Amino acid sequence: MFRCSVMPAVEAGDGLPRSYGGWPALVQVFALVVAALALAVPLAGGAGAADGPVRIVALGDSLTAGLGLPANAAFPARLEQALKAKGMAVEISNAGVSGDTAVGGLARLDWSVPEGTEAVIVELGANDTLRGIDPKVTRQALEEIVRRLRGRGIAVLLAGMRAAPNLGPDYARDFEAIYSDLAARNDLLLYPFFLDGVATDAKLNQHDGLHPTAAGVDAIVARILPKAEELVARAREKRGM
């Protein structure tokens, strides 16, 4: 859970011709662009937007990123396929960063969850407990993530995590209560344990014993799917407000 990859920036305009045939041609191009924009504006606020796919971001760590798996086998991709198979129009972006903690997720929240996002699945905390981070720190970060998302009118599904057993019962009590408390106080959808049914099954985990195999991801998707369906329904309800 400690590897991170960053997408390279792409600069627009490199290699494009400096001229398209002089001023007359430029005027024609400008007129075409203005006409296209004029046609697009009504669609943005009308039936096209209301009927379009629900835009979801999966904000998490390596369990979301799909460490050790091809991109099409990672949790966001498989969940999107499962929801589409149910007849739901969705687009799920993978905002998983390997090694990320709750504080790390908060630090990148604004650019990981772009404008236009309607729902977020928050899956953070596994690395916090592996590192023995004070549960108060994790709680504060997740509280702020939830506060910002709700302030933007974004529906939230909070995926919980269990504490590492070697940290003792007091730590486990304080850590695991974070998720149920946040969900209850903020009317969030809650999936209590992201790795439910997978964490203790060697056949569903990679050799490190921490990250699910492709079959393990499918098991997670099957269990969380009803909550994801509720998340889509909440996001669609918000469109009508």
Residue 111: which CATH number?
Answer: 3.40.50.1110
* The residue type at 86: K
Q: CA-to-CA distance for 2 and 131, rounded, in angstroms?
A: 11
Helix (H) or strand (E) holding 68: none
Same domain, 47 and 144: no
pLDDT for res 221: 98
Same domain, 32 and 90: no
Residue 218 CB partners (closer than 8 Å, separation 6+): 78
**Is there a catalytic annotation at residue 211?**
yes
CA 47 to chain centre: 26
Which residues, listed in sequence order, are joined to residue 55 by a DSSP beta bridge? Answer: 91
Does 65 fall in a domain? yes
- In this prediction, what percent of the chain has a pLDDT beyond 70? 79
Number of domains in the chain: 2
Q: Note whether residue 198 is domain-resident.
A: yes
CA 34 to each of CA 18, 47, 48, 188, 239: distance values in angstroms, whole numbers, following the listed order: 21, 22, 20, 42, 28
Based on the residue annotation, tell me whether 207 is a catalytic residue of this protein.
Answer: no
Q: Are residues 39 and 116 in the same domain?
A: no
Query: 14, 19, 207, 208: which one is catalytic?
Result: 208
Average pLDDT over residues 180-186: 98
Q: Which domain holds residue 98?
A: 53-239
Residue 16 lies inside a defined structural domain of this protein: no
Q: Which residues contact 197 (CB under 8 A, 6 or more apart)?
A: 204, 219, 220, 223
- Of the listed 61, 100, 211, 218, which one is catalytic? 211
pLDDT in the model for residue 51: 79
- Same domain? For 45 and 60 the reply is no
CA distance 23 to 33: 15
Average pLDDT over residues 152-169: 97
pLDDT over 90 at 18, yes or no: no
Of 62, 98, 112, 128, the active-site residue reads 62
pLDDT at 2 over 50: no
Maximum alpha-carbon separation in the chain: 75
> Do 137 and 44 reside in the same domain of the chain?
no
Q: Report which of residues 128 and 26 the model is more confident about.
A: 128
Mean pLDDT score of the chain, rounded to an integer?
Answer: 85
Task: Read off the pLDDT band of 225 (50, 70, 90).
Answer: very high
Alpha carbon distances (Å) from 199 to 178, 185, 205, 208, 213? 20, 28, 7, 12, 11
Q: Which residue, among 74, 238, 101, has the nearest Cα to 178 in the 3D structure?
A: 101
* Type and span of the H or E element at 91: strand 90-96
pLDDT tens-place string over residues 23-53: 334 334 344 333 444 434 333 333 336 679 9
Q: How much is the pLDDT for 39? A: 37
Instruction: Please indicate, yes or no, whether residues 190 and 226 belong to a single structural domain of this protein.
Output: yes
In a domain, 17, yes or no: no
Residue 40 sits in the same domain as residue 62 = no
Claim to verify: residue 158 and residue 197 sit in the same structural domain: yes
CA-nearest of 162, 189, 171, 99 to 132 is 171
pLDDT (0 to 100) of residue 240: 81
Q: For 54-109, what is each residue's pLDDT tens digit?
A: 999 999 999 999 999 999 999 999 999 999 999 999 999 999 999 999 999 999 99
67, 98 in Cβ contact below 8 A? yes
Six-digit token string for 62? 């390596």
pLDDT, residue 49, reads 60
